[in-house]
Amino acid sequence: MTERTLILLRHGQSEWNALNLFTGWVDVRLTNLGALEAERGGALLREKGLLPDVLHTSLLTRAIQTANIALDAADRAWIPVHRDWRLNERHYGDLQGKNKAETQEQYGEEQFMEWRRSFDVPPPVISDENEYSQAGDPRYAGIDAEMPKTEALKNVIDRLMPYWNGPIADDLNAGKTVLVTAHGNSLRALVKHLEGIGDDEISSLNIPTGIPLVYKLNDQLEAIGKGEYLDPEAAAAGAAAVASQGSKEEQ
């Protein structure tokens, strides 16, 4: 068996993570803290000798910035890059631009959690006229019928798996160490697949910003054990902070 290495990295803190706003496909940048997180993520890769041969990112600036900063810190800024909308964050529909704590207060915890963490119930659809809609954004020209206006985690899995089974699998099968920089929910979708997590259990899984999560895979690209965060303590604290983003005290 040839062991393959996959590294997952959620972008560092974004401007809208800092403001506690539902972001989805809205293209916001990293904060200074987010850039520092990305740099630390890259330094961890270098320290552990986990050097990516190829990068796959979403089309969103916060993931692209994170990859650039992390790879620079790991002395791997030169590796080939593939960017694809299938790695984008879950489209948060009409919730995009809304404050998470205010949304929980307005609609109640049950509805808030259903929209945020249920497996297959998407938030309300965003209209093309909404200021946070991506309709007409040139980076999505050509997606047409597949362009989402809202998504649940299930929809993210459906649109992400062809990319996992295609370009990412090709690089892994070629023996390359693959870095994927993406988002809280697109990475939850990948972790669900890799660790065989059930539709109900996945609701309690949260991905922290900026900490590399490493998988060893077998020839069938199945995970050998669970993924390991390179800084487990910081990862646990970061995941807990993500989990509590609906409560006012966390802001």
Report the C-alpha gap between 30 and 111 in whole angstroms: 29
Residue closer to ligand DG2 by CB (options 14, 65) is: 14
Coil vs helix vs strand at 179? strand
Residue closer to ligand DG2 by CB (options 12, 52) is: 12
Q: Which amino acid is at 236?
A: A
Residue 12 near residue 210 (C-beta atoms within 8 A): yes
Rg of the chain in Å (alpha carbons): 17
Smallest separation, CB 88 to ligand DG2 (Å): 9
Query: According to the binding rule CB under 6 A, does residue 208 interact with ligand DG2?
Result: no
Residues placed in the known binding site for substrate: 10-17, 23-24, 62, 89-92, 100, 116-117, 184-185
In the numeric block, which tokens belong to residue 37? 């997180």
In the numeric block, which tokens belong to residue 220? 């069938």
Binders of ligand DG2 among residues 108 to 127 (CB under 6 A) are: 116
Smallest separation, CB 190 to ligand DG2 (Å): 13
Residue 89 appears among annotated catalytic residues: yes
Query: According to the binding rule CB under 6 A, does residue 132 interact with ligand DG2?
Result: no
Q: How many residues bind ligand DG2 (CB under 6 A)?
A: 14
Smallest separation, CB 173 to ligand DG2 (Å): 28
Query: According to the binding rule CB under 6 A, does residue 10 interact with ligand DG2?
Result: yes
In the block, residue with structure tokens 């692209």: 64
Smallest separation, CB 55 to ligand DG2 (Å): 17
Residue 56 appears among annotated catalytic residues: no
One of 5, 9, 17, 126 touching ligand DG2 (CB under 6 A): 17
Query: According to the binding rule CB under 6 A, does residue 92 interact with ligand DG2?
Result: yes
The CB-based long-range contact list for 188-195 (8 Å cut-off, 24+ gap) reads 188/153, 189/90, 189/153, 189/156, 189/157, 189/160, 190/8, 190/160, 190/164, 191/8, 191/227, 192/153, 192/157, 193/157, 193/161, 193/164, 194/6, 194/222, 194/223, 194/227, 195/223, 195/226, 195/227
**Which residues does the annotation mark as catalytic?**
11, 89
> Under the rule (CB under 6 A), what is the footprint of ligand DG2?
10, 14, 17, 22-24, 89, 92, 116, 183-185, 242, 245
